């Protein structure tokens, strides 16, 4: 029994430092081939005081609802209002390293993951993270609602389906919870969660936004245990830019992020908007199920808008969460300092200069 998990949700294969690092050395020809890129005038142009020209924005994956805020910002003219003449939302994919695209200067900013960016920085890339859309990492252990796994200790003695590309995260998660790997049966898996439905395994390694909602649309109820809530906290969907951008194109960067803040504020207010845009416009060629995209959008909003971001503003990262992210990276063997990886000064300036943007979602 297959649930037809399409390749667009298999992005966890790129969310490990090793995969991102391998792709970081891609040729300039590959970097130019960033998928089904759209260069379009942002509607409802308001003639911003500054003219920043085109906004080249590298996404971390194909154009599903994961980037709802950007779709809304483009459609509603928030980027144009901030000073951009056109918007180029550059699709990611298995042959695109978003960090390399940004480092090459082909995009002003990109969406990435701390482990991928940290690995690139440690290899000499002049990159830095300036914010995070997700305040929690989306990895989870999914189980059937009729036999839920609610804590790491409850995995002991059970079978968990784990994809090969996710084994570094799995191993670090076990380490974080002091669980002997021999106490849990790791079952090699792909990305179709049918073995969980057929009860061949007791748990399934996944994104909480993806497979649980896919199964929900098929009438299968699941339980979700976020790794983030059990010893593996880390921000995700981070904004990565060249360090030089902080000096040479700071106003341009701030304008782009302001557009995103407005777009994501709208997405949090109504998750159906971005889902519709993903299914009918930006990701139309992917054959997305709009109902499933609404479920994904609703789920991701829970980690986009949190008590901290309601207080400090969308995409901000608290000092505590930065420290936790650094420690979590170390569990997986990536040692880097917070000064090397993060610079939150851009968002601080944005919310100081535009206080009405704070606490609106």
CB < 8 Å & 24+ apart, contacts of 332-337? 332/17, 332/115, 332/168, 332/169, 332/171, 332/172, 333/168, 333/172, 334/17, 334/115, 334/118, 334/119, 334/122, 336/118, 336/121, 336/122
- Alpha helices of the chain — where are they, by DSSP H? 17-24, 28-32, 68-75, 78-82, 98-103, 114-122, 167-176, 194-197, 211-217, 245-248, 250-269, 271-277, 290-304, 307-312, 319-331, 338-341, 345-353
Kindly give the confidence (pLDDT) of every residue in the chain, 361 residues in length, as a single tens digit, with 9 standing for 90 and above.
555 444 334 444 434 333 344 444 433 333 433 444 565 555 443 334 689 999 999 999 999 999 999 999 999 999 999 999 999 999 998 788 999 999 999 999 999 999 999 999 999 999 999 999 999 999 999 999 999 999 999 999 999 999 998 999 999 999 999 999 999 999 999 989 999 999 999 999 999 999 999 999 999 999 999 999 999 999 999 999 999 999 999 999 999 999 999 999 999 999 999 999 999 999 999 999 999 999 999 999 999 999 999 999 999 999 999 999 999 999 999 999 999 999 999 999 999 999 999 865 5
């Amino acid at each position: 029994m297959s649930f037809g998990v399409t390749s667009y949700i298999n992005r966890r294969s790129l969310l490990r430092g090793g995969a991102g690092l391998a792709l970081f050395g891609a040729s300039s020809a590959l970097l130019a081939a960033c998928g089904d890129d759209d260069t379009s005038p942002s509607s409802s142009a308001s003639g911003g005081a500054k003219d920043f020209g085109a906004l080249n924005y590298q996404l971390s994956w194909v154009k599903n609802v994961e980037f709802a805020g950007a779709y809304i910002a483009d459609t509603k003219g928030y980027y144009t209002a901030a000073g951009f003449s056109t918007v180029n939302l550059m699709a990611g994919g298995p042959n695109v390293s978003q960090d390399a695209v940004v480092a090459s200067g082909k995009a002003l900013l990109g969406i990435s993951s701390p482990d991928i960016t940290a690995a690139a920085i440690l290899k000499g890339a002049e990159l830095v993270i300036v914010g995070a859309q997700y305040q929690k990492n989306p990895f989870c252990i999914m189980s059937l609602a009729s036999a839920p796994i609610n804590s790491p200790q409850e995995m002991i003695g059970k079978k968990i389906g784990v994809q090969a590309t996710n084994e570094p995260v799995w191993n670090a998660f076990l380490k974080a919870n002091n669980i002997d790997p021999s106490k849990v049966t790791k079952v090699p898996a792909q990305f179709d969660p049918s073995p969980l439905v057929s009860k061949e395994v007791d748990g399934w390694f996944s994104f909480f936004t993806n497979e649980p909602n896919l199964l929900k649309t098929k009438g299968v109820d699941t339980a979700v245990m976020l790794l983030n809530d059990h010893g593996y906290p880390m921000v995700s969907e981070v904004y990565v830019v060249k360090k030089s951008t902080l000096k040479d194109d700071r106003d341009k960067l701030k304008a782009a992020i302001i557009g995103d803040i407005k777009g994501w504020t709208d997405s949090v207010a109504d998750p159906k908007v971005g889902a519709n845009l993903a299914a009918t416009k930006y990701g139309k060629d992917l054959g997305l199920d709009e109902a499933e995209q609404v479920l994904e959008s609703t789920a991701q909003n829970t980690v986009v808008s949190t008590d901290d971001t309601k207080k400090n503003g969308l995409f901000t990262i608290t000092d505590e969460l930065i420290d936790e992210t650094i420690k979590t990276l170390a569990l997986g063997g990536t040692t880097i300092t917070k000064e090397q990886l993060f610079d939150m000064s851009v968002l601080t300036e944005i919310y100081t200069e535009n206080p009405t943007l704070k606490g609106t979602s």
